[in-house]
């Protein structure tokens, strides 16, 4: 990865991790269903969900292409269990997990 892109990603991650009392969300258009986030979460707050055909149709072109290549499984976060620690965000190679303000 080019140093410029690494700096941008590092800055974005730092900004998101600094959100106090935030909500962790998954961008279904970016998630490829690899499961790395599931193995990283210390609270077992992440599981996989298979998208329905209707949900796939609602994805962006990028998301629909990922479904064709990687499958319909996408990460889902249980917000009742999630502590928004950010470990899954750091682990996601697709940068599909974000923390937003509640």
For residues 84 and 52, the answer to whether their CB atoms sit within 8 Å is: no
Query: 61: phi > 0 → left, psi -120 to 50 → alpha, else beta; which?
Result: alpha
pTM (predicted TM-score): 0.82
Return the CATH class of domain 3-101.
alpha beta
Phi, psi for residue 68 in degrees, rounded to 5:
-65, -35
pLDDT truncated to tens, each residue of the chain (102 aa)? 568 877 887 888 888 778 778 899 999 999 999 999 999 999 999 999 999 999 999 999 999 999 999 999 999 999 999 999 989 998 999 999 998 888
For 2-57, the DSSP string reads -HHHHHHHHHHHHHHHT-TTEEEEE-TTT-----HHHHH-TT--EEEEEPPHHHHH
| 5, 7, 92 from 28: Cα distances, Å | 22, 24, 13
Domain locations in the chain as residue ranges: 3-101
- Find out whether 82 and 73 touch, Cβ atoms under 8 Å: no
């Amino acid at each position: 990865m080019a140093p410029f892109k690494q700096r941008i990603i590092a800055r974005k991650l730092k900004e998101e991790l600094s959100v106090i009392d935030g909500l962790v969300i998954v961008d279904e258009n970016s998630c490829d269903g690899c499961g790395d986030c599931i193995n990283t979460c210390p609270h077992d707050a992440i599981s996989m969900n298979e998208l329905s055909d209707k949900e796939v149709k609602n994805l962006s072109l990028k998301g629909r292409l990922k479904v064709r290549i990687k499958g319909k499984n996408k990460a889902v976060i249980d917000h009742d269990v999630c502590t928004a620690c950010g470990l899954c965000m750091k682990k996601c190679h697709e940068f599909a997990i974000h923390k937003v303000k509640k």
